[in-house]
Structure 1
Amino acid sequence: MKIRLSFLLSLLFITSVHAQKVYDFNATCQQAYQEITKLKLVKGESWIEKAKQQNPNNLIPVMLESYIDFLTLFLNENPAEYKILYPRFSERISILEQGPNSSPFYRFALSTLRLHKAASAIKFGKTWEAGWDIRRAWMLLKDNKKSFPSFTADDLYYGTIQTMIGTVPKGYKWLTNILGMRGSVTDGLKTVQAFVNSNDVYAKIYAHEAQFIYPYLLFYMDNKKDEAITFIQQKKLDLVNNHLHGWMAANLTLNNKQAQYTQQIVQNRNLSNEYLDIPIWDFEMGFVKMYQLKPEEAIPYFERFLQKFKGNFYVKDVYDKIRLCHYMMGNTAAAEKARQMVLTKGATDSDADKKALRDAKANYWPNLLLLKARFLSDGGYHKEALAQLHGKTENDFPKEEDRLEYVYRAARIFDDLGREEEAINAYLAAIRLGEFRKEYYAARAAVQIGQIYEARGQKALAIQYYQRCLDMGDHEYKNSLDQRAKSGIMRCKGE
């Protein structure tokens, strides 16, 4: 009788403990979230501790702790930190599963941790594991939207996953097919856009995150690069005191050929030691200086990045840029030393790293004039880039690969200067010369023609050139260019 009574009391105790668990995104938790999403992680952690003291059974602090680990891993990619922090995602998932499933935050918090875990896994080469976590997050969000249709916090992640799945390149399509996930660029973007522009309470709480994600989707998925930059400016995002927004803006402006703007963002950021120390700032400044044809200034930034960065993404690419900087300066010994580092350091998870390794193995040294034109063009110095090519024709370059790069480079410069017909003709020449070669120029030329026709509203022609990119065989940047082409086709079809 005593044993039965104690067993019943134990059950009552366990039930009461579980019943005490709550999801309360209160003012203290909101303050913690605001600090974390500025990359003030230590300050955010202190607010989390305060929230725990206020209510030890509140599960929102558990979700917020996951943000700290995720941002640390995603931005710094330190293998030593990964061994410690990555297992915590599963531990916290188990804790969150103890919460009341009658709360809309139950599935939402679990999906957030699944996405944190997946994004961290991708950084460390665990693609398959990441795929399953993304699927679990996706299913949790779908179920939550059915159970709590007025809970708008789901929309940010739901729309983002929907957009990303819709543009998975052929190289990874097997994964989404196995996982049974289908997406839509158009529907996903509409969902995220509505959330970003909403006055809903959760849209306000999650503003930092939404304003970080949405420009990326505009830029890469919707090909509205200028609109993404305009969004940053119109929303008057704090690029000085919010390092997450500053990093996003620096990355997008650099990839939008606005090196001068990138330099301004990096140099004007708040230098307080309150922020997570990330080497990406040196990475960005290295590219800025290289694009300005100041290789002697670029190299120290690249070297500082490599000293601080513990991950593998873009390591080969950065060593390759050091190689090219020394090459521009005429220091062949230092350039060769950097080439050797490309062969031995880093990994090949990114297309840029794959190209760096391919060039290093081939002992490829580009035409110096074309290299300078490329860097000036990539930095947004279009007139200066065109001046490099002034008086030159395709026949001035004996090597086939140089003739191909010349017409492609001229096309990109014409395109950036708004000289569309000249750009199209040069892009067509690049396709003619390079469609069956390993360089990326022909595939990128097809994408660029597609984008010109799409902007003109000539969607059938745009689809034709996007498909031409997809039909090309193996080449540099295959996955990323296929993703751009597929996004273009889906946009043109309204999918």
Structure 2
Amino acid sequence: MRIIFSFVLLLGIGLTVNARQKVYDFNSRCEQAYEAIMQLRLNAGKALLEAEKKENPDNLIPYFLDNYVDFFPLFFNEDAAEYSKRRGMRSVRLDKMEEGSPDSPYYLYTQAAIKFQWAMVKIKFNEKWDATWEIRKAYATLKENQRRFPDFMPNKLLLGAMQTVFGTIPEGYKWITNILGMKGSIKDGMGNVNAFIESNAPEAKLFREESYYYYCYLMLFIVNKPEDTWAFLQRKQLDTKNNYLFALMVANLSLNNQKAATGLKVLQEINDSAQFTDIQYYNYVMGLLKLTRLDSDAHVYLERFVNNFKGRFYLKECLQRLSWYYYLEGNQAAANKYRAMILERGGLDTDADKQALKEAQSGKWPNPFLLKVRLLSDGGYFSEALKLLLTRKAADFAELSDKLEYAYRLGRIYDESGLDDKAIAMYDVTVKVGRNRPEYYAARASLQMGYIYEKRNDKTKAIQCYQQCLDMKGHDYKNSLDQRAKAGLQRVNGT
């Protein structure tokens, strides 16, 4: 018996000696790997991570960064076969992160970040309910980590991004966030994000470039401060030539902020290197940017995206733009071909995809004159758009929808040109005529008037316009316009 006891004791001692503690060591090699991954030089990043695993097998950070390597291609390219192959790594990596010490702030943070990234991926693969629960888990994990380690700055970055978005959930969907315990506001959320951006803590410096990505999207699409967003980009002087992710981000922000010339310049100046991972989203953004300038080769990029992209997001919109390209070129056969494909391909996850399907099902084509004006205006080529638009009058159009669009387009051009009073006059006409119609013009006109009055610090009229936008029903782009109006109300009310 004593022999058996002695053997068990020795075995236990041996196990204790050999059970080395796993660590979260964000050393210089891991920093280099993270930097390469965030530039979308994924193969270079993976090579560094494999070297670190071999040399320091107890370091958990390489396994955490592996999740970034999976995240970017899955999120951008939406390849279902790749998703099927990699999805099992979520639980493997979460288990791996639990091998570290619970006394480290990275213990819960790494788990929350992995859950958050997989939530974003699941949205792309139409697993919306699973994605919602994944976000809820990430949020709860971060809240606990914030309670335990209040000075750990990365908590504030992810929490702040979530709180900002949760604060703009439309009223009809508030019950979901309430049930799941996910609450937030623009004020609190951006307060946390800004605290991270301005922090000099080592961890804040480490994740600094990732924070720029969150900040810019939140500032432009949620907080609606485009001037501040572009001033931030100018101040930070992001390296868009050697950082593919930054280049795609700035190009996308340009596309959504009437700055097509900026977006095109950024994409055309990227260092042409095979070291960057192939991201089909590049062709989508480049094609749309070129189409706003009415470039003759816009279709090359749009067709490249349609032929090579394996996902659902943006596909119907891209096919719609291709049909518009050939329609304006006078090639009706090609225009019809791509319009027919809208009925069969892609998903309905974005308002733009929904609107593309609605137009295809209607059988109607846009007025070619107004379509050219729209594209030029969307790209920020306002002088060209205005010059073209003023060659006609509203009375020249037979259809009421075209008269309405004429007034709206004229208002948007005046608005973007800083002629606020003229813009308000045209927006007001658009709202009066179109508030009960299915086109989005009246709702967007009301939203834009809200922006003007908010800028003038006329809170009463701004609130009136934002609420008016929310009250309009059954129009195109309803979800995205409602979210912006809700964000406007929160800003004006200081919540």
TM-score range, shorter chain: over 0.9
Equivalent AA in structure 2 for residue 113 of structure 1? I
After TM superposition, give the deviation of residue 207 of structure 1 in Å: 1.4
Q: What's 1:269 paired with? A: 270
Q: What's 1:191 paired with? A: 192
Q: What's 1:221 paired with? A: 222
Contact 1:218/1:225 (CA < 8 Å) preserved in 2? yes
Q: Which moved more, 1:280-289 or 1:36-45?
A: 280-289
After TM superposition, give the deviation of residue 172 of structure 1 in Å: 4.2
Q: What's 2:302 paired with? A: 302
Equivalent AA in structure 1 for residue 24 of structure 2? Y
Contact 1:145/1:151 (CA < 8 Å) preserved in 2? yes
> What CA deviation, in whole Å up to 9, does each residue of 1:166-201 have, x standing for no partner?
112346434313212110101111211121122221
Contact 1:171/1:479 (CA < 8 Å) preserved in 2? no
Q: Which moved more, 1:318-327 or 1:383-392?
A: 383-392
Q: What's 2:435 paired with? A: 435
Q: What's 1:423 paired with? A: 423
2-side partners of 1:67 and 1:253: how far apart?
25
After TM superposition, give the deviation of residue 99 of structure 1 in Å: 2.0
Q: What's 2:125 paired with? A: 124
2-side partners of 1:369 and 1:422: how far apart?
22
Q: Are the structure 2 counterparts of residues 12 and 66 from structure 1 closer, same or farther at C-alpha, using a change threshold of 3 Å?
A: farther
Contact 1:314/1:352 (CA < 8 Å) preserved in 2? yes
Equivalent AA in structure 2 for residue 185 of structure 1? I
Q: Which moved more, 1:49-58 or 1:233-242?
A: 49-58
After TM superposition, give the deviation of residue 8 of structure 1 in Å: 6.9
> What CA deviation, in whole Å up to 9, does each residue of 1:135-161 have, x standing for no partner?
111111111111111211211111111
> What CA deviation, in whole Å up to 9, does each residue of 1:309-352 have, x standing for no partner?
11110111111001111110111111111110111111111111
2-side partners of 1:346 and 1:87: how far apart?
25
Q: Which moved more, 1:52-61 or 1:312-321?
A: 52-61
Q: What's 2:395 paired with? A: 395
Q: Which moved more, 1:54-63 or 1:67-76?
A: 54-63
After TM superposition, give the deviation of residue 291 of structure 1 in Å: 0.9
2-side partners of 1:36 and 1:165: how far apart?
28
2-side partners of 1:3 and 1:77: how far apart?
58
Q: Are the structure 2 counterparts of residues 348 and 3 from structure 1 closer, same or farther at C-alpha, using a change threshold of 3 Å?
A: farther
After TM superposition, give the deviation of residue 47 of structure 1 in Å: 1.0
**Runs (5+) with no aligned partner, structure 2:** none
> What CA deviation, in whole Å up to 9, does each residue of 1:439-478 have, x standing for no partner?
1111111111111111111122211111111111122111
Q: Are the structure 2 counterparts of residues 151 and 369 from structure 1 closer, same or farther at C-alpha, using a change threshold of 3 Å?
A: same
Contact 1:250/1:262 (CA < 8 Å) preserved in 2? yes
Equivalent AA in structure 1 for residue 459 of structure 2? K
Q: Are the structure 2 counterparts of residues 66 and 426 from structure 1 closer, same or farther at C-alpha, using a change threshold of 3 Å?
A: same
Q: What's 1:206 paired with? A: 207
> What CA deviation, in whole Å up to 9, does each residue of 1:102-157 have, x standing for no partner?
11100100001011110000111111111111111111111111111121121111
After TM superposition, give the deviation of residue 87 of structure 1 in Å: 2.0
> What CA deviation, in whole Å up to 9, does each residue of 1:204-226 have, x standing for no partner?
11112011111111111111112
1-side partners of 2:311 and 2:199: how far apart?
37
Contact 1:434/1:441 (CA < 8 Å) preserved in 2? yes
2-side partners of 1:208 and 1:179: how far apart?
30
Q: What's 2:30 paired with? A: 29
Classify the secondary structure of the residue corresponding to 1:344: coil
Q: Are the structure 2 counterparts of residues 320 and 122 from structure 1 closer, same or farther at C-alpha, using a change threshold of 3 Å?
A: same
Q: What's 1:260 paired with? A: 261
Q: Are the structure 2 counterparts of residues 436 and 273 from structure 1 closer, same or farther at C-alpha, using a change threshold of 3 Å?
A: same
Q: Where do residues 305-316 of structure 1 align in structure 2 (5 Å cutoff)?
A: 305-316=305-316
Q: What's 1:54 paired with? A: 55
1:249 aligns with 2:250: yes
After TM superposition, give the deviation of residue 288 of structure 1 in Å: 2.0
How many aligned positions are there? 494
Q: Are the structure 2 counterparts of residues 25 and 424 from structure 1 closer, same or farther at C-alpha, using a change threshold of 3 Å?
A: same
2-side partners of 1:113 and 1:170: how far apart?
29
1:283 aligns with 2:262: no
1:320 aligns with 2:334: no
After TM superposition, give the deviation of residue 414 of structure 1 in Å: 0.7
Equivalent AA in structure 2 for residue 331 of structure 1? N
Contact 1:229/1:252 (CA < 8 Å) preserved in 2? no
1-side partners of 2:5 and 2:346: how far apart?
61
Q: What's 1:409 paired with? A: 409
Contact 1:19/1:100 (CA < 8 Å) preserved in 2? no
Equivalent AA in structure 2 for residue 211 of structure 1? Y
Q: Which moved more, 1:192-201 or 1:324-333?
A: 192-201
Contact 1:86/1:120 (CA < 8 Å) preserved in 2? no
Q: Which moved more, 1:3-12 or 1:95-104?
A: 3-12
1:77 aligns with 2:48: no
After TM superposition, give the deviation of residue 4 of structure 1 in Å: 7.3
Q: What's 2:67 paired with? A: 66
**Runs (5+) with no aligned partner, structure 1:** none
Equivalent AA in structure 1 for residue 375 of structure 2? F
Equivalent AA in structure 2 for residue 81 of structure 1? E
Equivalent AA in structure 2 for residue 32 of structure 1? A
Q: Where do residues 104-143 of structure 1 align in structure 2 (5 Å cutoff)?
A: 104-143=105-144
Task: List structure 1 segments (4+ residues) > 4 angstroms apart after TM superposition.
Answer: 1-19
Classify the secondary structure of the residue corresponding to 2:141: helix
- Per the normalisation by structure 1, the TM-score is 0.96
Q: What's 1:45 paired with? A: 46
Q: Which moved more, 1:3-12 or 1:425-434?
A: 3-12
Q: What's 2:237 paired with? A: 236
> What CA deviation, in whole Å up to 9, does each residue of 1:362-407 have, x standing for no partner?
0120111111110110111101111122143322221111111111
Q: What's 2:383 paired with? A: 383
RMSD: 1.8
Classify the secondary structure of the residue corresponding to 1:181: coil
After TM superposition, give the deviation of residue 6 of structure 1 in Å: 7.1
